[in-house]
Amino acid sequence: MAHWFVSHGRDEFPRWREAFPAARLVSAADAKLLAMPGDAVWIMDDTPQWPSLAMPLGQRGVIVVIMSLAPSGHDALQALQAGARGYLHALAKPALMEQAALVTQNQGIWVPADLMGRVLGATYQALGGEPRLPSDELSALTERERDVALAVARGKSNKEVARHLDITERTVKAHLGAVFRKLGVRDRMQLVLRLGQHAEVS
């Protein structure tokens, strides 16, 4: 199985060579001619009309991976839609690139974990899935935990919440810890992002 790299710029990407010493850097036109089914073609997203290059390759059974210096959820979705099986940062560690190669060669899809959530969330909701109602989230909490969660979601510090609810800061932490556990978030930032639009209550 051969590896081909397509990049518009003249930039050198030593990580590519490190991960795949036998790979060749080719033009977009050459990639179309040279890549055989089962081969892997790594395309930098600075390549003009890269979706138009990825699509026919993907349909021919070529494994296409799009690489970007500035990955975004939108581009990841576009890449997958264009037939790419992977999307990752152009400066990813060689070990990560090899992992992506392994995954894509086995019919898997490789997308950075942080992009996954947003891509899928947007996709799922676009298809009419439940937008994950905050009220559902909150129903799992006790009344006191809900008070604390909503206050924190409005940007209050533990100390401020404690004053507002007339309890000690330690108790706020206790409730907050329960909230984190029940909602499966790791800190108050994640909580704000999940309950963000629900921050209108006093």
Give the separation between CA 42 and CA 90, rounded to whole angstroms: 10
202 binds, among DNA, a second copy, none (CB under 5 to 8 A by kind): a second copy
Of residues 49, 106, 135, 139, which one binds a second copy by CB under 8 A?
106
Binding site for DNA (CB under 7 A): 142-145, 157-159, 165, 167-168, 170-171, 173-177, 180-181, 186-189
Cα–Cα distances (Å) from 121 to 8, 127, 188, in that order, read 32, 10, 20
Count other C-beta atoms under 10 Å from residue 101's C-beta.
Answer: 20
Residue 129 near which of DNA, a second copy, none (CB within 5-8 Å, type-dependent): a second copy
* Degrees, nearest 5: CA angle 115-38-75: 25
* Encoded amino acid at 133, one letter: L
Cβ atoms of 122 and 76 closer than 8 Å? no
Q: What distance separates the 2 farthest-apart alpha carbons in the chain?
A: 72
Shortest approach of DNA to residue 135 CB, angstroms? 17
The DSSP secondary-structure symbol of 9 reads S
- The residue (of 65 and 176) whose beta carbon lies closer to DNA is 176
In the list 8, 118, 146, 173, the residue contacting a second copy (rule: CB under 8 A) is 118
Closer to DNA at the Cβ: 177 or 196?
177
Query: In which region does residue 140 sit, left (phi positive, over 0), alpha (psi from -120 to 50) or beta (all else)?
Result: alpha
167 binds, among DNA, a second copy, none (CB under 5 to 8 A by kind): DNA
Q: Does 7 bind a second copy (CB under 8 A)?
A: no
What is the binding site for a second copy (CB under 8 A)?
55-56, 59, 70-75, 77-78, 80-81, 91, 99-100, 102-104, 106-111, 113-114, 116, 118-124, 126-127, 129-132, 154-157, 164, 166, 184, 187-190, 192-193, 196-197, 199-202
